[in-house]
Structure formats: C-alpha cells, structure tokens
C-alpha cells in the first residue's frame, strides 16, 4: 500500500526534517496510530510532495525525516480543473457535495443562491458558513490524500456565477434538456484545461437562470431521463469526468 499523504505547510520543513503538530499530529499519531519508521508523504502548498519516514513521536509533535521531494502528480496529471457550480441545496447536502466532490478531485466549488434554492445564506452568515465549508474540503482533502485543498466560493446568484466563468468548457446540467446528452456532447470535445459544471437546487433551474448560463456559453446537457438529486448529479458528473479525462 502506498504511504499515506498529508498536507503540510512548507514552512514546517527545515534541514531535511518536517515537524508536525496540532491537528496533523493528532491525525497521524492518534487517529492512524502511525509511528517510528512508518513511511509518509507530505504535500505542501507549493505543489511538492515530500516522501519520508516518521523519525520521532513526542506527546504533541512528531518529526518526519524527508528522503525525497518531487512535484505532485496532481499538479502534473493533466486532468482538467473542474469547478462545481452548485445552487445552494437544502440542509447538510452542501457538506455532502463538498466532501464527496473533494474525494473525487474537484478543483473548487462555487456555491450560489439559486432562484429555487430553499436554503438561504444571509450576509451576516456568509463568513462563518464559508469557514465551515472550507474546513469540510480541507478535512476531506486530508482524508483522501489529496495534495491540494479545493477552495469554496460564494456567489449571490446565477448571474454572478455565470459571469465569472471563464472556463474552457462550461456545462449546465439541465433536467429540462431533451436532445443533448452528456455522452453525445463529450464525444465531440477535446480535453479542456478547465471545466465548470452548473447544477441546480432541489427545485431545479428557473428558466431565467438557464438563459443566463447559456448566454455565457454554458452548454445544457442531460444526464438521462431519470431525475437525480442535486448531490447525486454533482457526484456523478465528477466521477464521469475523472474517468474520461482524469486518472481514474
């Protein structure tokens, strides 16, 4: 089995040793019970992966002796950067989407207030929600051994999200699309460097939102005749994209 990989700040690595404390220490030493001599990989924010073995384990910190460092395969894999542009769903569905999407390699998440979103984010709640959501992606990245943490951004509505989308390929998963299937569309596309996928809330997209997105170059596609829940749609599209263009 490949060594487990953890995120580390490059500042914690000096003279061939990395020192880990706080949550990282807790995760390695207490949760996973790794110890002296166990191999680990430490990925830093600059896109490097440092391979080494645990050297010393203290009560609140441990050190890793670094044996080699190289650019991470994630920064070199050539898979497209995938943005999930998701209308805010109900309750804890957001966290599910962030967690599973991080495991499946999403590059970032843009959450927006959809016209039919039942849930709302008031201005005074925004910062604490973003903090919480970013914690979810950071935790999921660590758990899944990813070397980069997907960012979570908030957009007030579809108009703002659509306007910001400069991705090479823009898809709108639309339950109302009858002609264009995802499969049909992808068979005509080359691998893009970046891709954004817009997904509606439980109530689906409002026609005005479909218009907004399509005017900004989003291509409406169908995932078939069955209606998927918003969280299923986002998990499914990521798995499909990773299979076709990623390293799955």
Which residues here bind ligand SAH, judged by CB under 6 A?
A: 173-175, 199-200, 203-205, 222-224, 226-228, 230, 233
Q: How far is the CB of 200 from ligand SAH (least distance, A)?
A: 2
Q: Which is nearer to ligand SAH, 24 or 87 (CB)?
A: 87
Pairwise CA distance, residues 112 & 127, whole Å:
14
Smallest distance, Å, CB 211 to ligand SAH?
14
- CB burial of residue 224 (10 Å; 0-12, 13-18, 19+): exposed
Contacts of 206 (CB under 8 A, 6+ apart): 114, 115, 116
* Comparison of 33 and 226: residue with beta carbon closer to ligand SAH: 226
Of 119 and 228, which has the nearer Cβ to ligand SAH? 228
Which is closer to ligand SAH, CB of 66 or CB of 98? 98
What are 18's strand-pairing partners? 13, 64
Ramachandran quadrant class, 100 (left: phi over 0; alpha: psi -120 to 50; beta: rest): alpha
Cβ partners under 8 Å of residue 10, min gap 6: 44, 45, 46, 48
Which residue's CB comes closest to ligand SAH?
Answer: 200
Min dist CB 229 to ligand SAH, Å, is: 6
Residue among 139 and 177 whose Cβ is closer to ligand SAH = 177
Residue 125 beta carbon to ligand SAH: minimum distance, rounded to whole angstroms: 23
| Shortest distance in whole angstroms from residue 172 CB to ligand SAH | 7
């Amino acid at each position: 089995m490949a060594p487990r990989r953890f995120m580390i700040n490059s500042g914690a690595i000096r003279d061939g040793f990395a020192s880990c404390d706080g949550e990282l220490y807790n995760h390695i030493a207490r949760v996973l019970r790794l110890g002296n001599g166990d191999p680990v990989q430490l990925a830093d924010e600059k896109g490097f992966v440092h391979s080494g073995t645990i050297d010393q384990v203290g009560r609140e910190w441990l050190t890793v002796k670094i044996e080699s460092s190289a650019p991470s395969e994630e920064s070199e894999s050539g898979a497209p950067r995938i943005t999930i542009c998701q209308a805010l769903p109900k309750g804890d569905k957001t966290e599910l989407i962030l967690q599973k999407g991080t495991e499946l390699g999403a590059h970032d998440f843009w959450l927006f207030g959809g016209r039919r979103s039942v849930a709302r984010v008031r201005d005074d709640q925004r910062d604490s929600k973003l903090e919480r959501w970013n914690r979810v992606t950071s935790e999921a990245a660590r758990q899944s051994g990813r070397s980069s943490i997907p960012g979570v951004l908030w957009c007030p509505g579809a108009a703002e999200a659509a306007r910001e989308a400069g991705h090479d390929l823009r898809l709108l998963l639309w339950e109302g699309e009858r002609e264009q299937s995802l499969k049909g569309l992808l068979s005509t596309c080359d691998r893009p460097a970046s891709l954004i996928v817009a997904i509606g809330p439980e109530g689906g997209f409002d026609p005005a939102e479909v218009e907004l997105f399509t005017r900004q170059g989003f291509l409406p596609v169908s995932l078939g005749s069955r209606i998927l829940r918003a969280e299923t749609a986002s998990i499914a599209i990521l798995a499909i994209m990773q299979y076709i263009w990623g390293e799955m």
